[in-house]
Amino acid sequence: MSQKYNREYYFNTVTRESRWEPPAARDQKLGAKHILVKHEGSRRPSSWREEHISRTEEEAVAKINSILQRLISKDNPERLEDIAAVESDCSSAKRGGDLGLFEPGAMQKPFEDAVLGLKVGKLSGPVKTESGVHIILRTR
Ligand SMILES: O=C(N[C@H](Cc1nc2ccccc2[nH]1)C(=O)O)c1cc2ccccc2s1
């Protein structure tokens, strides 16, 4: 709060700049949890759970869609973290699929665009990147 003008202002602790207008959304860190199913065309067709990943992209989409059904089922929905720990081909599986907070520009564009298209707490449909096929839960 600025005493002189009795107005709230914004101070960036990294750049140490201050300004009246709130930081633009594009500066804000994003947060997401995800499940990744890799396929033979993935940038790195290997993971902690499978040394040589040979499923086709079509099979990866089918697997992602069956996982989606488990997440949105009305009678007994499962938690994304629990499925990620077993099924995700990303090393974040060990953290329940949690990618933590990341700067805009840090993740592959299709992934970031999908996160930006989600409200916090919402789940994506199948999202394709060079790494494979993802389901994304936006956390921040
Ligand atoms: O790039 C990663 N893992 C790759 C797979 C992958 N590719 C991605 C592309 C976009 C978002 C997450 C992604 N994860 C791998 O294990 O082959 C990351 C793992 C972790 C773990 C913790 C926090 C961030 C990250 S980013």
Give 99 Cα–ligand 1 centroid separation in angstroms. 7
Give 1 Cα–ligand 1 centroid separation in angstroms. 39
Helix, strand counts (H, E) of the chain: 3, 6
- The atom number, within ligand 1, closest to the CA of 34 reads 12
Name the active-site residue from 42, 47, 90, 124: 90
Q: Please give the single-letter amino acid code of residue 94.
A: K
Q: pLDDT digits over 39-62, tens only?
A: 999 999 999 999 999 999 999 999
134 is catalytic: yes
ipTM, two decimals, is: 0.98
Q: pLDDT digits over 98-111, tens only?
A: 999 999 999 999 99
Helices (H), the chain: 57-72, 80-87, 109-116
52 is catalytic: no
